[in-house]
Structure 1
Amino acid sequence: MDAAAVTSEQRWLTWARRQAAAYLAAAGWGDDDGWAASTVAAARVVLCFLAMTVTTAVWAVVLLLLLPWPSERIRQSNIYGHFTGRMLLWILGNPIKVEGLEHLKTRGIFVCNHASPMDIFLVMWLAPTGTVGIAKKEIIWYPLFGQLYALANHLRIDRSNSAAAIASMKEVARKVANNNLSLILFPEGTRARDGRLLPFKKGFVHAALQTRLPIIPIVMTGTHLAWRINSVRVRPAPLTIKILPPVSTDGWEESRINEYVEKVRSLYVDNLPDSYKPLDALVARTKAD
């Protein structure tokens, strides 16, 4: 890393720390683990839930009116995500730095690492218009959000076994290709509790082989520190989102799926801080040194 890049990163970290300190000071906290911090943080989460309930109800009515027009429902769901995602992030108050926004202009398969409920808000905010999400079929049973997800014409897959998952992904890819859409998903398939990158599932590569769309990695850091899984506490940790250049899938072959999975995952390993890298990558680096 050159001196200019180091200086820029230092400026960002200094700014983020000041923002976090101001966040604490505004509430009169000296320690973000104190009772006052816990109370205000919980209040922010409750406010997020209430705000999301209102916007979800409004957009649900809009989507019901648009039932005959599936493509417009997708567009409206993206607008809902841009508005609601940004609003929820504003309520939570974490400093956010985004790099590589220009890569969101490319139609493709957007893949994101996943370590926190906050990742969902970031994805809602960043996903370009004309992008569909993909989730397990059981999401339909989630109160409010699950029903809106189905109304918005987003896609669901059957993960009951590998054969069903592959068949579902092929159907997803067909719909994406036929409707000129982009796709966004979490290739780890679940959230990493400690923030360290988990192994990637193969679904995004199957989708790429069917659509020939480029893969665009979105690398997120800080979210598991800001909002831990199964917690109502949101801490003022700074968030960084780095959108990497598209990875061309032209010429990819089905016989090399495992190679492509690791190729994309290695981009995350290269762009994540050590505290987020998978332990196997750190061990391999130590041996190489």
Structure 2
Amino acid sequence: MENSASGSFLRNRRLESFLETKSGPNVRETQKIPSKQVIARQRPNKTDAFVDDDGWIPTLISCVRIVTCYLAMMVTTFIWAIIMLMLLPWPSQRVRQGNIYGHVTGRLLMWILGNPLKIEGTEFSNERAIYICNHASPIDIFLIMWLTPTGTVGIAKKEIIWYPLFGQLYVLANHLRIDRSDPSTAIKSMKKAVQAVKKHGLSLIVFPEGTRSKNGRLLPFKKGFVHLAIESGLPIVPIILTGTHLAWRKGSLHVRPAPISVKYLPPIKTDSWTADKINDYIKMVHDIYVENLPEAQKPISTDDTKNSSRS
């Protein structure tokens, strides 16, 4: 027994010596790396929880997905355009069908793109309200089409009618357009929009930044959504989108497998809001977004909210 144990011990020692000889240079090289660098290499980047691969295979897959999205949208748009034309005498039914089109098409397009998706706060997703959403990617449009409740209309610039397929269906679905050529005309357009919302018991969806962020960081908010809230008395439901700017960057035709998060926040009551405090309301809602967005999507300076009063 002792001879067997000592033999086993000697064999193990020879094996360890052999392994140290083979791996010695690597061990010494690792020891030369400062500990902070080792930790940095081991710790994944929290802002990019996916492999951002620009190789030709991921790019080809992305192109196939985008083309498939476009073809799928052409098919669903054609089908619902026929439905909308048949419902021309019934505006409220066109709004409803427009929402059904959005639910079907938006979900289909997100399935084709294949991004991991997490949705929170859905208990606040069926309110009659003004839904607002940060905007940094074409994917935001797909999500909003899918996730806003039936009976919701969008507000867009009047030029949207010239967007191929989508613009024409937007008008057929009886969504609202505003003339942004000057502030007074825009306010008049919004008042007409509010009258339509009150008359038909509708909800609204608005991008308060007024345009799409180039880098995913939150932009200053325009005044329009506050005017709408004061005129209609509807609560505001913030929708926080994260990760869409990584999944489909502005100006890019490469869709990446970045995880996306959608979070509905509790409604903000506006029935006591007054026109003399518009800038205060803008800052309050903007600050809510700053608190809920990840660091990579926060504005570089929160003082940018002051600039919103110029718009």
Structure 1: which 5+ runs fail to align? 1-12, 22-30, 285-289
Q: Which residue of the other structure, out of 142, 154, 161, is the alignment partner of 2:175? A: 154
Match of 2:74 in 1: 53
Match of 1:115 in 2: 136
Match of 1:227 in 2: 248
CA displacement at 1:212 relative to structure 2 = 0.2
Match of 2:190 in 1: 169
Is the contact between residue 134 and residue 218 of structure 2 (CA under 8 Å) also seen in structure 1?
Answer: yes
Following superposition of structure 1 onto structure 2, how do residues 255-274 of structure 1 map, counting pairs within 5 Å?
255-274=276-295
| 1:84-142 Cα shifts (integer Å, max 9, x gaps) | 00000000000000100110121000000000011000000001000001110000111
| Counterpart AA for 1:81 | G
Structure 1: how far apart are the matches of 2:125 and 2:71? 30
Q: CA RMSD in A?
A: 1.8
SS at match of 2:153: strand
SS at match of 2:53: coil
Match of 2:216 in 1: 195
| Counterpart AA for 2:170 | Y
CA displacement at 1:281 relative to structure 2 = 2.5
Instruction: Return the TM-score normalized by structure 1.
Output: 0.87
Structure 2: how far apart are the matches of 1:276 and 1:69? 42
Structure 2: how far apart are the matches of 1:113 and 1:188? 7
Structure 1: how far apart are the matches of 2:233 and 2:62? 43
CA displacement at 1:282 relative to structure 2 = 8.9
Number of aligned residues: 260
Following superposition of structure 1 onto structure 2, how do residues 172-251 of structure 1 map, counting pairs within 5 Å?
172-251=193-272
Structure 2: how far apart are the matches of 1:141 and 1:194? 26
Match of 1:10 in 2: none
Structure 2: how far apart are the matches of 1:63 and 1:92? 27
Structure 2: which 5+ runs fail to align? 1-44, 306-311
Q: Which residue of the other structure, out of 96, 99, 102, is the alignment partner of 1:75? A: 96
Instruction: Return the TM-score normalized by structure 2.
Output: 0.81
| 1:163-182 Cα shifts (integer Å, max 9, x gaps) | 11111111111111111000
The answer to whether the aligner puts 1:252 opposite 2:252 as a matched pair is: no
Is the contact between residue 274 and residue 282 of structure 1 (CA under 8 Å) also seen in structure 2?
Answer: no
SS at match of 1:98: strand
The answer to whether the aligner puts 1:276 opposite 2:297 as a matched pair is: yes
| Counterpart AA for 2:267 | P
Question: Identical aligned pairs, as a percentage?
Answer: 61
